[in-house]
Structure 1
Amino acid sequence: MGILLMNIVAFSMPMAAYINPTAFGGATGADLATYLVNYVLFDGKMRGLFSFLFGASTLLVIERAQSRGVSAAGVHYARMFWLLLFGLAHLFLIWWGDILAHYAIMGMILWFFRNRSVGKLILIGVLLLVLEFLLMASMPMWIWALQNGHAGDAAQTAKGMLAMQKTVGVPPAGIIDASLAVHRGDYAAIVADRIARHGLAPINMIFFVGPETLAYMLFGMAGYRSGMLTGAWSRGRYVRWLLIGFGISLPAYIAGAVYMVQSDFDMLAVASAVMTMPVIFRPLMILGWACLIILLMREGGALTARIAAAGRMAFSNYLLTSILCATFFYGYGFGFFGYLSRFEIYAVVLVVWALMLLWSKPWLERFRYGPLEWLWRSLSRGRPQPLAGGAIADA
């Protein structure tokens, strides 16, 4: 649900709008406020929390396979293989912003850390984040070099500036217009454009965000093994880490927001505040979010039960969200791509959230798994798994 707060921009607008609000979608009034709230509280944090949970669930599946006396490696790699295929199908057939293929690739690497202690998992994760920071720091350094004439001759500088405008700045109007035309067109044109622009995304992501993703998965393993993600900590400990996580990260993000606004979202400011600085502070806010959610969830509460059901069907809800949003915004559906402002698109988020909460619990009262969870499980085990029975009733 939190990931959709950010993904909705990528569903509804040209890609440049995701990072820089002045590129498209509105950068004043409610639109600017929406961007800044998302930047401070949600951008990257929900994806990071998802990565934490992916690492935790991977360790849980491995331990359960070992307890059943079956090959844990066989179970794990079968799951990752089919997740990779699901992700590639999602990427090419539904939406360019797929994360599943990347998670599957990182999950294959994750196996080799399954027996590490909590301390070593955290240490390796921190080292990976140092590597990620060095990768991300190269972007503002490159922009500074371009802006100050230290990036080669005029032709090289112009080429570099255009690349950075497409990434963290305001692309030329022709590029925005082309994106609008494609996504307001038919399905074949959208798929062809997606393959041309994002066909190598799973490979590129390994080098761009792979260290960070793997670090968060390792933190998730540590969180599971330490009891943090299972609710085993004392209330006081959760409160303490909530205050530490938000107390350190919130001021940094607020400072980043002020910096971007005061610079009128200059490329150097956006690259520094959105791409580089968060590598340091985002893990602390993710930890804060995890602690806050655990503290807020009241056992037996009606809303808690519905959110828990939506979470047990995260795979189905993730892909269903892509289908719904692509149908609503793209030309082969209702064709709203580029017509709603940054603030207005959140009406769509509320509708999708409501659908998740309305259908997940009734489904799990009748069936053991979500539909795609069942398919993934059946394919991974090489035979159809029992579906009827009701996961909530079984729990």
Structure 2
Amino acid sequence: MASTASTDSRFISLDVVRGIAVMGILLMNIVAFSLPSAAYFTPLAYGGESPVDLAVWATNFVLADGKMRGLFSVLFGASMLLVIQRAEAKEQSPALTHYSRMTWLLLFGAIHAYAIWYGDILMLYAVIGSIAFFFRKMETHKLVVLGIILIAVQAIFLALLAGSIWLLRESALAPGADAELVRQWLAIDAQFGTMPPDKLAEELARYRGNYADILAHRLGPGFWDPIQANLTAALDTLGLMLLGMAGLKSGFLTGEWDRASYARYARTGYLIGLPLLTGIALITMANGFDAVTIFALDFAAQTAINPAVILAHAALILYWVKSSAGSQFIARVGAAGRAAFTNYIGTSLVCTTIFYGYGFGLYGELSRTALYIVVLCVWVLILLWSKPWLERFRYGPLEWLWRSLARRELQPIRK
């Protein structure tokens, strides 16, 4: 059954899944915080050629890459619908409540993307959440079907894009190839493969430099980077949000199912997804992480397969919550989820301070494996501060600010 917490009638199950998601998303983001951009797609691009580093990449690819962002998207859809339902129950305007929240979230996302870190997802969530609002009254099974269709369309689009990149590569490598085709292929290969020495040196110098230079790049040549990155994930993000709305309506995400059902869904999802993703990881490594393979398998095929593992992750977490009621560790993870907005932005502040030149300047200095020492330290920090704070205050600091701005008046924060 659904559990509640303190004064806000919250579902602890939603909080715990969100807490796992906000911590788990750092498993992939840490690479983007600390290494040149191409290293996110291939460990061979920078500091990841050892067997241990390749094993770390493969493990994250199978278990975390796209799955934690997906879990976060599912939880966003569920939480968004819950806020709308509560507004309706109080006879408040659901549209005003929702779009006020999304407008401020868009602004927070823009500040995050341009003033803190380019890898923001809040702008994407604000835009896609504004669209998801129109599906709030859709029946549960229709939300599931439409969500799966949207994810499938995204996967097909990426597969077609992979096909076009393959044609470009074949044309560019053919004898007497047109110079413009060669240029286009080399640009794609540099973005998703081994970076040319000059581009690598430029990126290392930028993020080892001062804040003013980084900000100038974000507002200048790199202005469209966060927006372009989010566009390629728009359809599957909407699909996952709809699945989250279905998960709320069905009671799946609120912990209302029995443990056997959660165990069955976890087992099924893992049996479907993990062997396929392991095969993709092995093929990608065997092909030397070339751009065509990355688009065809890492992007297109993974987009289609990930929902099975995302569902399995959610089911396993919820099984754990139902099996460990009253656990202090679950309470800490749930508190991390209640303060997910603050923890997400806070993680960016901490990690950019650790890696960028205006902080400790460790950008490009650690191996892929060593980065996970930083991840563990950030996780400990999240778990240590969230619960004591929420024992004294109703919301996390940014949750309170977002709520106050969206409601156009300061909200009480002390309990």
What range is the shorter-chain TM-score in?
A: over 0.9
Match in the other structure for 1:336: 362
Distance 2:199 2:260 in 1: 52
Alpha-carbon contact 2:173-2:182 (below 8 Å) kept = no
Task: Pick from 304, 311, 315 the counterpart of residue 291 of structure 1.
Answer: 315
Query: Which structure 2 segments of 5+ residues have no match?
Result: 1-22
Q: How many residues align?
A: 389
C-alpha separation between the residues in 1 aligned to 2:363 and 2:229? 25
List per-residue Cα deviations over 1:312-347 (Å, max 9, x = no partner). Answer: 000000011000000110000110000001001111
- CA shift for structure 1 position 32: 0.9
Task: Give TM-score scaled by structure 1 length.
Answer: 0.96
Change (3 A) 1:142 1:209: same
- Measured after TM superposition, the shift of residue 28 of structure 1 is 1.8
Match of 1:181 among 202, 205, 210: 205
Whole-angstrom CA distance in 2 between matches of 1:246 and 1:108: 32
What does residue 235 of structure 1 align with? 259
Report the TM-score when normalising by structure 2.
0.91
Q: Deviation at 1:205?
A: 4.6
Higher RCO, Cα 8 Å, sep 6+? 2
C-alpha separation between the residues in 1 aligned to 2:173 and 2:286?
Answer: 26
Of 271-280 and 241-250, the range deviating more from structure 2? 271-280
Alignment partner of 1:161 is 2:191? no
Cross-structure match for 1:79:
101
**1:173-205 deviation digits (Å, cap 9, x = unpaired):** 211111000000000101111223442245435
- CA–CA distance in structure 2, aligned partners of residues 8 and 301 of structure 1: 29
- Kindly state the Cα deviation for residue 131 of structure 1 after the two structures are TM-superposed: 1.8
Deviation, 1:151, is 9.2
Residue 149 of structure 1: which of 164, 171, 176 is its match? 171
Which of 81, 86, 100 is residue 64 of structure 1 equivalent to? 86
Aligned to 2:302: 278
Is 1:258 aligned to 2:287, yes or no?
A: no
1:393 maps to none
Tell me whether 1:223 sits opposite 2:247 in the alignment: yes
Per-residue deviation, 1:63 = 0.3
Question: Corresponding residue for 2:148?
Answer: 126
Distance in 1 between the 2:292 and 2:152 partners? Answer: 21
| Alpha-carbon distance change, 150 to 361 in structure 1, aligned in 2, over 3 angstroms | same
Q: Which amino acid aligns with 1:340?
A: L
Instruction: Quote the Cα distance in structure 2 between the aligned partners of 1:9 and 1:63.
Output: 38
Cα distance change on mapping 1:182 and 1:311 into 2, 3 Å: same
Q: Deviations over 1:247-292 (max 9, x none)?
A: 0110110100110121122222222221111111101100000001
Aligned sequence identity (%):
48
Distance, in Å, in 2 between the alignment partners of 1:380 and 1:20 is: 40
The runs of at least 4 consecutive aligned structure 1 residues that moved more than 6 Å come to none
Q: Distance in 1 between matches of 2:60 and 2:225?
A: 24
Q: 1:143 to 1:202 in 2, by over 3 A?
A: closer
Of 44, 48, 71, which residue of structure 1 is paired with 2:70? 48
Q: Which amino acid letter does the alignment assign opposite residue 76 of structure 2?
A: F
Worse overlay, 283-292 or 238-247: 238-247
Q: 1:155-179 CA deviation, whole Å, 9 max, x = no partner?
A: 1321221232133222212111110
CA contact (8 A) 2:144 2:246 kept: yes
Q: Unaligned regions of 5+ residues in structure 1, if any?
A: 390-395
Structure-2 residue corresponding to 1:248: 272
Contact 1:162 1:171 in 2 (8 A): no
Q: For the structure 1 residues 119 and 150, does the alpha-carbon distance in structure 2 shift closer, same or farther, using more than 3 Å as the test? A: farther
